[in-house]
Chains A and B, each alone.
Chain A
Amino acid sequence: MNSSDVLGLSVQAAKTLLDRGEVSSYELTRAVLDRIREVDGRVNAFVTVTEDEAMAQALSADRRIADGDNGPLTGVPMQIKDNMCTRGVPTTCASHMLQDFIPPYDATVVARLQLEGAVLVGKGNMDEFAMGSSTENSALFPTRNPWDLDRVPGGSSGGPAAAVAADECVFSLGSDTGGSIRQPAALCGVVGLKPTYGLVSRYGLIAFASSLDQIGPLTKNVTDSALVLNAIAGHDRNDSTSIRYDPPDYSRALLPDLKGLRIGVPKEYFVEGLEPGVEEAVRTAIGVLEELGAKVEETSLPNTEHALAVYYIIAPSEASANLARYDGVKYGYSAAEADGMWDALDKTRQDGFGPEVKRRIMLGTYALSTGYYDAYYLKAQKVRTLIALEFRDAFQRFDALVTPTSPSVAFKLGEKTADPVQMYLNDILTMPANIAGIPAISVPGGIVEGLPVGLQFLGPPLGEETLFRAAYAYEQATEWHRMRPDL
C-alpha cells in the first residue's frame, strides 16, 4: 500500500486497515508526516511538528495492535491545538508570551488520547490565546484555507481545521469559547463539535474565558467525532467544573434516519449579513432533514440579538483575569530591560501580547472596573440567564435546532482585520451555545462557489447523542463530507 492510499483516511477507515494489518501505524504516520512536509509550507497549519516523537509513538502503537491491545484511536495520527499542554513539547498559544514555554505536564485530553495510543504529529496554529475568527491573530504566522490559499481557515482553531481538511492529520482537537471549533470547521469543510460545558476536562487547556471554554474534536466525518469524544469525555478530578457524568458510547447514537425527531429553525439565525449562498445551502439542507423524517418547524429566540454584546463583555472580562498570570516571572516571555518589578510587568505585557489580546484585556478590565461593573459585567450575566432560559424553553418543544454555522464562507486574508467589530460578527451564530453552555456541532452542508458551508445543530445540555444522530443522518444523505480541497 503506498502513501497516497492512506491519505485522507478517517479514524474509522484507518482502524479497519490497522486491524487487518494492511497498513501499520508506522506507515500511516510516515505518510502523514510526508504530507505535512509536502503541503504545510503553503497551508501553515502547524506551529510544531513532532516527527521523532510521532515515529516512536507509532512503533509502540504497532506493538499494541499486534498484541490485540488496541482501541479505535490506537496508531492514528492526530494534531492538537497549541493551547493544550503537551509534556516536553512547546505549547505557544501562538503568542510571543509563550513562544518558549515547554509544559511540565499533559492536558487531561492529551493524556487520555495518548493512553488510547493516538499518535501526536504536532501542534496546531491558532489566533493568539484563541482570540480571533481567522487565525490572522497568530503572532507566529497566519494559516491558509486549503480550499483557497488566499482565504482564511476561520479561527481560532484555524490550524486544526485546515490540517484535517488538508489530510495533514486524521483528526485534531480544538477549543471553542465563542465558535472557535465550529466556525473554522465550517470554513474548511470538516466536522467540528463543541460539547456541553463541563463534559470534557479543561485541565491543561490554557485558559481564555473559563465559563465558556470547551475542548472538542475536529474530524473528517461525524462518526470520527463520536469516536474522539468517547476518548476525551468524562469527569476529571483536576477540573472542578467538569461534570460528574458517565458518558455513553456516542458511536451508538449514529442512526441513518430522523423519524420523529423535532427540529426547530430559529429565525433570528437568518440575520442581515447572512450571505445568500449560505442561506440557500442551509434551506436546502433543512429540506433534506425533512426527507429523512424530521419534523421541522420555524421558531424564535429573540434574545439572540444580544449574544454578541453579552459574549464580548463576559469573555474579555474573564480573559483579563486569566491573563493576569503572564507576569514574566514564573514562565513565559520576560522583558530584559526594566526598572524594577512594576516596569518589568508593563514592558513584558506590552511586548509579549499582540494587539487583539491587548484589546480584549483592556475591554475586560474596563467592564470590571469600578463604576462600570453593574452596567456591563453584571448586566451581561443577567442577559446570559435570559439567553439560557430561552434555549431551555426551546428544547421543551424541539430535540435540536438547526442553523447556519457562520454567516459567510471563508473570506480573504486581510479582508476583515481593520475593524474589530466586523471580525467579531463572524461568531454571531456560534456564541449563543457557549453563553448557554449547550452542545453544538458543525457539519459540511454545501459548497458555494467552491467554498464549504457549515450546517450547525444545537442541542440541550448533554444532548450530544441527539446532535450526532441528526448530523450523521444528514451526512449520510449528502455527499458534502466526501469533497476535499485540491491542494
Chain B
Amino acid sequence: MKLTIEEVRHVAALARIGMTDAELELMRDQLSHILESFDALGQVDTDGVEPTRHSVDVDSVMRDDEVRDSLLREDVLANAPSKEGDFVRVRAVLGDH
C-alpha cells in the first residue's frame, strides 16, 4: 500500500517539519517501502497478549520532597538562541509580530 501525498503532508504537519514538494515525494516513496517491510507483523497472533511499554516494570517513582541545587540560570540561558534579560525570547504565537 502506497501512502498518498496528502497523508505524507499531514504527517509532516503533525511532526512540524517543513518539506519541499520534492522532499514530500521522496518521503512518500521511502515511508511506503519501509511500511511494506512491516506487513508480516499483522499476521502474528497477539490475542490476549499484553503490550510491553518498558522491559522493566516501572511504577510511579516517588522521592522525598527536599530542596536540591538546580542548574545555574546563566548556564541554562547561555544556550537560548534568543533572549532578553533573564528571559528566553519567543516569536509571536498569534498573528503578526
Contacts and interface: CB of A to CB of B under 8 A. Distances in A.
A212 B70 CA distance: 28
B79 A334 contact: no
A346 B41 contact: no
B4 interface: no
Interface of A: 100-102, 104-105, 197-198, 211, 237, 240-241, 243, 303, 305-306, 308-310, 312-313, 320, 324, 328-334, 338, 340-342, 344-347, 349-350, 353, 358-359, 361-363, 365-366, 369, 375-376, 378-386, 388, 419-421, 424, 435-438, 461
A168 B25 CA distance: 43
B40 A305 contact: yes
B44 A436 contact: no
Contacts of A100: 79
Given A240-B61, A350-B18, A358-B17, A363 B53 contact: no
Chain B CB count within 10 A is highest, among A345, A347, A365, for A365
B34 A329 contact: no
Contact of B34 (A310, A347, A420, A461): A420
A305 B41 CA distance: 9
Contacts, number: 163
A241 B49 contact: no
B42 A344 contact: no
Interface of A is mostly: helix
Contacts of B33: 419-421
- Report the 7 A-B pairs with minimum CB-CB distance, sorted nearest first: A437-B55, A381-B51, A331-B79, A104-B75, A346-B18, A350-B18, A334-B81
6 contacts: A102-B79, A312-B34, A329-B81, A340-B96, A363-B34, A420-B33
Contact of B56 (A102, A197, A380, A381): A197
Contacts of A380: 41
A448 B49 CA distance: 43
Interface string B73-97: 0011011111000001011110111
A246 to B, nearest CB: 16
Contacts of A306: 40-41, 44
